[in-house]
């Protein structure tokens, strides 16, 4: 683990990761029949629900293509993910609905993943932000980490929704993201 990163840089990275997670939640909350409310906030029309689902599926598939390499890069020999690494997990709720939530920090022990919810699940009354959950590799739909260049890699769903936010906000977020979702040497 690197110890030469200034505290202010760590705090900035944490705020950036939080912003990215909020934006993904924004896109999720504004999809479907209530998506028109996004127009008032962003000045853009969200894509029709079918297109959004197709784009989301493509983003999840792209993230999964690099999932093994991601885990190799961020999990230490003790199974604990390095600071700033996060996974987005699909959780099936008892009511039949699915929540997509970010989990950080996380670790792998005895073939099982577990970590702390950093989102508030929308469809659960039993789970809340800060709860420890277990999940399988198959439930991971996105991932994120800060590269040595200080930029965010992964965030496939965040990259997908950049066209649903204002151009100023999109430019601000894009400046934090790496040029490619996966590092060039992967």
- 109 belongs to a structural domain: yes
Out of 46-55, 84-93, 113-122, 130-139, least confident range: 46-55
pLDDT of residue 122: 86
- 120 belongs to a structural domain: yes
CA angle (91, 97, 86) in 5-degree steps: 25
Q: Which structural domain range is residue 91 located in?
A: 7-176
Give the pLDDT band (50/70/90) at residue 104. very high
pLDDT of residue 116: 98
- 182 belongs to a structural domain: no
pLDDT at 74 over 90: yes
Structure token digits, residue 134: 């277990």
Tell me the mean pLDDT in the region 52-69.
93
pLDDT of residue 103: 98
Global pTM value = 0.73
- When computed from its CA atoms, the radius of gyration of the chain, rounded to whole angstroms, is 16
Strand pairing category for 132-135 and 112-117: antiparallel
pLDDT of residue 3: 52
- 106 belongs to a structural domain: yes
- 58 belongs to a structural domain: yes
Distance CA(23)–CA(74), nearest Å, equals 23
pLDDT of residue 17: 56
Give the pLDDT band (50/70/90) at residue 31. very low
CA distances from 128 to 8, 13, 68, 90, 177 (A): 28, 23, 28, 15, 28
């Amino acid at each position: 683990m690197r110890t030469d990163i200034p505290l202010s840089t760590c705090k900035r990275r944490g705020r950036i990761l939080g912003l990215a997670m909020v934006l993904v939640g924004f896109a999720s909350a504004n999809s479907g029949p209530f998506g028109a409310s996004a127009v008032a906030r962003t000045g853009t029309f969200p894509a029709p629900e079918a297109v959004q689902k197709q784009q989301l599926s493509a983003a999840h598939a792209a993230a999964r293509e690099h999932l093994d390499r991601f885990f190799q890069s961020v999990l230490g020999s003790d199974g604990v993910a390095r600071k700033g690494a996060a996974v987005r997990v699909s959780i099936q709720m008892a009511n039949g609905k699915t929540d997509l939530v970010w989990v950080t920090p996380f670790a792998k022990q005895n073939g099982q993943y577990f970590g702390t919810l950093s989102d508030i699940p929308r469809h659960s009354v039993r789970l809340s932000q800060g709860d420890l959950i277990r999940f399988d590799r198959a439930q991971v739909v996105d991932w994120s980490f800060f590269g040595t260049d200080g930029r965010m890699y992964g965030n496939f769903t965040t990259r997908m929704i950049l066209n649903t936010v204002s151009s100023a906000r999109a430019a601000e977020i894009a400046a934090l993201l790496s040029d490619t979702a996966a590092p060039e040497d992967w």
